[in-house]
Amino acid sequence: MAINKLALIRYKTIDDCLRNRFRKWTLDDLIEKVAETLYELEGITSGVSKRTIQADIQLMRSDKLGYNAPIIVKDKRFYAYGDPNFSITKAPINNADVDKMKEIVGVLKQFNAFNYFDEMSDMIARLENNLYKSTKQSGNNIQLESNKLVKGLECIPPLYQAVLNKRSLLIEYKSFKAQQSQQAIYYPYLLKEYRNRWFLICKAKKRPGILNLALDRIVEFQELPNETFVAYEGVDFDRYYDDLIGVTKNHKDRAHKVILEFTNDHAPYVITKPLHTSQIILSKNEKTTIFRIDVVLNYELEREILGFGECVRVRSPKLLIWKIKKRLQQTYEQYETLQKEKEALENSMP
């Protein structure tokens, strides 16, 4: 059964309503809400008929789309889900969907033969593995890096739509350092992932420069259809992060020539998994290998270097050498303080 975009919007809106257990929904309420959503998303002013919504509910209840939604009517008036945890977004895909997705994966695999599509390899592998699991009822054949405890992933679809459609956002955000969350208007430009953590690259209405907001620190957000979207002029976001490790950067930052000296027992790891696309080998002797990368000096770079411990030494620039030395000194002092506290405790014992 072919489903058009407007029907999907109606089903999703009805689903959102019935998942809201803090309100009772009559048929008229559902009609009004669907009409509002169609106007907001598609500019449709003709509303939606009672007959259409009744047909949608019957279709959602049925197996025709694979939803089998447990929609019940309470007190002969109020619509609700019999299972409070149900959502059509959680419904398993049917066999027809699986077959169609197999066809799509097959096409993607053909495209992947061209170098231009090399970055699609992990996505294709993920799709193929999930499809095999859904049809063969078996376990994973490939395990890709993920962290199910990461918060904020549910924000990705609506934020993506806001970026795509250039919609201004009212975001309530609470940074790690803040005591309380704060609301502000933002203009979203890009969604970026770094080490299983997602960030919204944006600009605040009342602050200069580009910001990155961690999705796991967003309390809530909503689109502002009446707030004019402001593009960030002079920045090509397709290439803005090419000289970066991580996400921390402002428009004034420029790449530095970073020289790193690794012990030879660890150098092969850096060769096979480069720190950055700009990485080159400058020289090698019996004990060490010297690498160069051209990147912005930021917090993520420092953490990357510190993660190699005693296997690496920064040779330039001077500012980065000073920062790494300072952080290592602070680490050393923490252990010294801990040892002194331990000794003092032992000496105080009878």
Q: What is the pLDDT of residue 274?
A: 94
Q: Is the pLDDT of residue 30 over 90?
A: yes
Q: Which tokens hold the place of 246? A: 């991580």
Q: Are residues 332 and 300 in the same domain?
A: yes
Alpha-carbon span 262 to 277, nearest angstrom: 18
In a domain, 200, yes or no: yes
Q: Which domain holds residue 201?
A: 153-223
CA angle 26, 36, 187 (to 5 degrees): 135
Predicted confidence band at 72 (pLDDT cuts at 50, 70, 90)?
Answer: very high
Q: Give the helix ranges, DSSP H, for the chain.
A: 5-19, 27-42, 50-61, 95-111, 121-136, 156-164, 267-272, 299-306, 318-348
Q: Are residues 305 and 255 in the same domain?
A: yes
Predicted confidence band at 267 (pLDDT cuts at 50, 70, 90)?
Answer: very high
In a domain, 240, yes or no: no
What CATH number has the domain bearing residue 298? 3.30.70
Alpha-carbon span 240 to 224, nearest angstrom: 27
pLDDT digit string, tens, across residues 180-239: 999 999 999 999 988 888 999 999 999 988 999 999 999 999 999 899 999 988 888 888
Q: Are residues 260 and 201 in the same domain?
A: no
Q: Is the pLDDT of residue 58 over 50?
A: yes
Q: Which tokens hold the place of 200? A: 């919204």
pTM above 0.85, yes or no: no
Q: Are residues 84 and 103 in the same domain?
A: no
**Closest C-alpha to 318, from 262, 261, 256, 265:** 256
Alpha-carbon span 306 to 297, nearest angstrom: 14
pLDDT digit string, tens, across residues 87-145: 887 766 566 666 666 666 666 555 554 444 455 566 666 666 666 665 555 555 556 56
In a domain, 123, yes or no: yes
- Alpha carbon separation from 11 to 7, 18, 39, 85, 338 (Å, rounded): 6, 11, 15, 17, 59
Q: Give SS3 for 326.
A: helix
Greatest pairwise CA separation for the chain in angstroms: 86
Average pLDDT for the chain: 85
CA angle 87, 93, 98 (to 5 degrees): 165
Q: Determine the average pLDDT of the residues in 280-297.
A: 96
What CATH number has the domain bearing residue 202? 2.30.30
In a domain, 190, yes or no: yes
Domains contained in the chain, number: 4
Q: Are residues 298 and 317 in the same domain?
A: yes
- Alpha carbon separation from 92 to 27, 74, 153 (Å, rounded): 27, 27, 20
Q: What is the pLDDT of residue 233?
A: 86
